[in-house]
Chain A
Amino acid sequence: MSVTTTVSLVGVGGQGILLAAAILAETAFAEGLDVKASEVKGMAQRGGSVLSTVRFGEHVWSPVARYADVVIATELLEGHRGLGLLAPQGTLVCATTTRIVPGSVLRREEEYPDDLPGAAAARGARLIAVDAEALAREAGTLRAVNVALLGAASVVLPFAAASWQRGLAAAVPAKILEVNERAFALGRGAVSNEEVGP
């Protein structure tokens, strides 16, 4: 990774992309790093694609980057789209069992893409596929797909477990902190070091 690390979070409006980005930013702060972030959310409430970018390092200048070292996708189609945001040798962490089908596919004008592993391999990207829905359900709420996925992504991000804990506590409302901590732990546990590879 470069001196500044870029993580892009992609998903569908309502999936909690912005909260996941806030947790990530708070975690980086807890590590004593400089953080810059930006989001495109004007259409977030209307089921459009949402993109949030978090960059951290010793000193970060720009709030955006064309390519990310890690892309976290809370939905399969957005994961496919997220491959286009990934730097060479980057990692895509994707909730591959979550499908939110857009209108054009419902109307059979376009096809929902299949074979994310193939697409990732073609791009030379490392793919971490996560059944985040199952993990979130196990944690206690389907709404925690975002945080379960963040837990999975934490395996490839250079932060200490204690920092993640502080990040969660700082960004997640107290009322739903516990269930999100569970989802995070389940996500983190679901990705073995073997899967991550060298």
Chain B
Amino acid sequence: MERTLFFSGNEAIAHGAVRAGAAFACGYPGTPSTEILQTAARLDGIHAEWCVNEKVALETAVGASLAGVRSIVTMKHVGLNVAADPFMTLSLTGVNAGLVIVSADDPGMHSSQNEQDSRAYAKFAKVPMLEPSDSQEAYDFVAEAFALSEEFDTPVLLRSTTRLSHGRGQVIPRVPVVLGPRDYARDIGKYVMVPHYARMRNRLVLERLQKLRARAEESPLNVLEAGTADVGIIAAGVAYAYAREAFPKAWFLKLGMSHPLPYRKVARLFRQVSRVAVVEELDPFIEEQVRALGLPVVGKEAIPADGELDQDIVFRALEPFLSRRPPRRRRPVFPPVPRLADPPPAPGLPVRPPVLCPGCTHRAVFTALRTHRLAPMGDIGCYTLGALPPLLALDSCLCMGASIGMMAGFNQALGRKAAAAVIGDSTFFHSGVTPLIDAHYNAADGLVIVLDNRTTAMTGHQGHPGTGLRADGSRGPAVDIQKLCEGIGVRCHTVDASDYGVLEAAVKAEVDAPGLGVVVALAPCVLMVPEKAGEIVIDDERCNLCGLCLDVGCPALARGEDSVSIAGSCTGCGLCTEVCRRGALSFAGATGAGTAGEGAP
């Protein structure tokens, strides 16, 4: 047996992560969470990085998890607000390798601007919440959290509080967890949260919550501890330690996994004793759920709802209640399993999903990117439609601005340029700048393609800082994306997206170049360019229906009987003439033969 260690909760979490096989850690400093990552950075076998903020940290960790590496993200409670956007949808996509988010609450606000209770986020996102009560549990629960994450395909929240993070206790080290490889497999239905796929994943989340509750009922993390007094206490986290010291003879239901709540274990405690109290720091999170079962408890009418607890506060608060006449015994009423909405009827008719517009120049980016073996991390905008058939050109869509952080984490985890990021101009300004700064700062490898169509197209052409167009139609200063990137220190090229040869060459150059680079593919949204660029014609003799032009996914092109047919919706963008190897597609009036096909993939 190795010697017993004396760790703070934060040190224990870091060591526990390494012991659990986590190889990627990131976060943003915030009291009382900071020392977790500081400790991890000193340990072997785990890559640790400070990120620019908690949102980027979570997205980076998601990228590393997708790449197949167990990842842990650390932040203080209010940091989870910043990370809430990726967090809420991460619940739907789930993970590849396990992903654990540590949120450290600060009851008493020793150094915080509010006193929010992170457990509300577990309920909000329908993910499990683990609450260790001392350093040993902090160390052990991290491995439990990773195992749950992979078994149930969910991120797992681990709540610390100031006294756990900054308290110290003995830790007996455990045998390191040995992990098999967890290769990345592209799965658009799981990782690209466009409405159609998100609806399907959401149903799985609701079912997963029921399975997690069944697990909470049998999990050794939730222990019913026999006492000798006719008093039961339900507690989690460090509050358990206070209550245990204050009432040594009481029965305890110790919840290591406080969400979802194991209803039947709660009911079992009520069968053992005639009075039950819930002891928890901050919100009546457990208490409200117990009351909803119709079971009488003592809770926040006695235990302060603000500030820190200790054994003295707990004893003085509960003593008068527990010596009173016990309430009438009641039978619990377990909540029903919620029903899900009727699934939509099987279509039976051809579906009509939204598509990239005919003539959308940015379609060319997907054509240029597809020849390289990079996992394209996507973002939110028209171009997310590139994930749908026939292009199938994006691997992920998590939330606004997530593409760059996910790319960085993916590449950091694998130690090479394995993923690219595809993001629109408006999305880039929304939240793509911070992860670019982060990727540069942490020396992540990668290729970011900004699809700059000079507008916020998906929602109907609103202005953004890159255009300077304001809501009232007036013009303000326009921010230059290339100058912005160069100001950060990132290599950046702006190319005309309508010139396929130039675009393809720029993408290839960045794929081959070391380190991080940005290509701004510039071409205005085709819906803002009313006039037709030219008439495309097909030479039936030359067309052999090879399908290369159909692969660009333009709705104006269709497979005809003997040759490809061109619909009236064609805008004459000419991308199909670029990819055709036989010179069958050309602009009317041009010679057609010989010129087209150069530089085709």
Contact = CB atoms under 8 A, between A and B. Distances in A.
Q: Tell whether A and B belong to one assembly.
A: yes
Interface of A: 12-13, 42-43, 45-49, 77-78, 80-81, 84, 101-108, 110-113
Contacts of B350: 77, 102, 104-105, 110-113
A113 B352 contact: no
Most buried by A among B345, B353, B356: B353
If over half of B's interface residues share one DSSP class (helix, strand or loop), that class is named, otherwise mixed; here it is: loop
B446 to A, nearest CB: 28
A103 B389 contact: yes
Given A47-B354, A48-B352, 9 more contacts: A45-B460, A77-B350, A101-B558, A102-B351, A103-B353, A103-B390, A107-B390, A111-B350, A113-B349
Contact of B354 (A48, A81, A112, A113): A48
Nearest to B550: A107
B354 A106 contact: no
25 contacts: A13-B354, A42-B195, A45-B357, A45-B457, A46-B357, A46-B382, A47-B354, A47-B355, A47-B357, A48-B352, A48-B354, A48-B355, A77-B349, A77-B350, A81-B349, A84-B345, A102-B351, A102-B353, A103-B553, A103-B555, A106-B557, A107-B389, A110-B351, A112-B350, A113-B349
Contact of B555 (A42, A47, A49, A110): A47
B522 to A, nearest CB: 21
Q: Which 8 residue pairs spanning A and B have beta carbons closest together?
A: A46-B354, A48-B354, A43-B354, A110-B350, A106-B558, A102-B352, A49-B352, A47-B355
A21 B495 CA distance: 42
A104 B559 contact: no
Contacts of B356: 46
B276 interface: no
Contacts of B555: 47, 103, 106
A46 B363 CA distance: 13
A87 to B, nearest CB: 16
A119 to B, nearest CB: 10
A46 B352 contact: no
B389 A108 contact: no
Most buried by A among B349, B385, B555, B558: B349
A98 to B, nearest CB: 12
A145 to B, nearest CB: 14
Contacts of A12: 352
B527 interface: yes
Interface string B475-510: 000000000000000000000000000000000000
Contact of A108 (B347, B460, B559): B559
A13 B350 CA distance: 16
A154 B383 CA distance: 39
Contacts of A113: 349-350
Contact of B559 (A78, A107, A112): A107
A48 B349 contact: no
A156 B352 CA distance: 28
A104 B559 CA distance: 11
A48 B559 contact: no
Contacts of A111: 350
B355 to A, nearest CB: 5
Interface in B342-380: 345, 347, 349-357
A31 B582 CA distance: 62
A106 B569 CA distance: 14
